[in-house]
């Protein structure tokens, strides 16, 4: 699998979705008006590059998203945030710990 940083992925995606199609239209139009060389070949090549790049980015995106360590919960249990539940305080602490990166080893905040 091709490994890209987020910035590289965003740039490649922009090229495939915006720049190649825009330049293709631009070159085809000017080619017909001004007689630029081989507009059909240039546009065909750019279309092939955009299609190939889009497929590669799509496959990599799908692999990246399916391999993430994020657990997707479709529906929490009915007692998950029930104040009468025995695990209520524990569930709230788990939310705060995850949201605010609280220490899990019992140490105090600020390194004290």
Has this prediction a pTM greater than 0.85?
no
Asked whether residue 81 falls in the same domain as residue 42, the answer is no
- What is d(CA 10, CA 25) in angstroms, rounded to the nearest whole number? 22
Question: What share of the chain has pLDDT > 90, as a percent?
Answer: 46
- 49 vs 71, which has greater pLDDT? 49
- What is d(CA 47, CA 100) in angstroms, rounded to the nearest whole number? 46
Asked whether residue 47 falls in the same domain as residue 90, the answer is no
Please indicate, yes or no, if residue 112 is contained in any of the structural domains. Answer: no
Please indicate, yes or no, if residue 111 is contained in any of the structural domains. Answer: no
Please indicate, yes or no, if residue 1 is contained in any of the structural domains. Answer: no
Tens of pLDDT, residues 61-87? 888 878 755 555 555 555 555 556 655
Asked whether residue 57 falls in the same domain as residue 15, the answer is yes
Confidence of residue 22 (pLDDT cuts 50, 70, 90): very high
Asked whether residue 61 falls in the same domain as residue 27, the answer is yes
Please indicate, yes or no, if residue 84 is contained in any of the structural domains. Answer: yes
Confidence of residue 112 (pLDDT cuts 50, 70, 90): very low
Q: How many domains does the chain have?
A: 2
Q: What is the DSSP code string of 11-75?
A: HHHHIIIIIHHHHHHHHHHHHHHH--S-HHHHHHHHHHHHHHHHHHHHHHHHHHHHT--PPP-SS
Asked whether residue 31 falls in the same domain as residue 82, the answer is no
Residue 41's domain spans which residues? 6-66
Q: Is the pLDDT of residue 99 over 70?
A: no
Average pLDDT in the chain = 76
Give whole-number Cα distances, 112 to 46, 96, 100, 107, 108, in Å.
60, 20, 18, 8, 6
- What is d(CA 106, CA 92) in angstroms, rounded to the nearest whole number? 16
């Amino acid at each position: 699998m091709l490994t890209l940083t987020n910035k590289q992925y965003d740039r490649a995606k922009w090229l495939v979705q915006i720049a190649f199609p825009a330049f293709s239209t631009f070159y085809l139009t000017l080619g017909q008006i001004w007689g630029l060389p081989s507009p059909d070949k240039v546009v065909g090549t750019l279309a092939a590059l955009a299609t190939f790049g889009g497929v590669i980015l799509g496959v990599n995106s799908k692999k990246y998203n399916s391999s993430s360590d994020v657990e997707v919960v479709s529906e929490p249990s009915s007692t998950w945030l029930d104040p009468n539940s025995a695990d209520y305080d524990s569930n709230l602490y788990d939310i705060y710990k995850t949201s605010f990166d609280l220490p899990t080893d019992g140490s105090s905040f600020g390194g004290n």
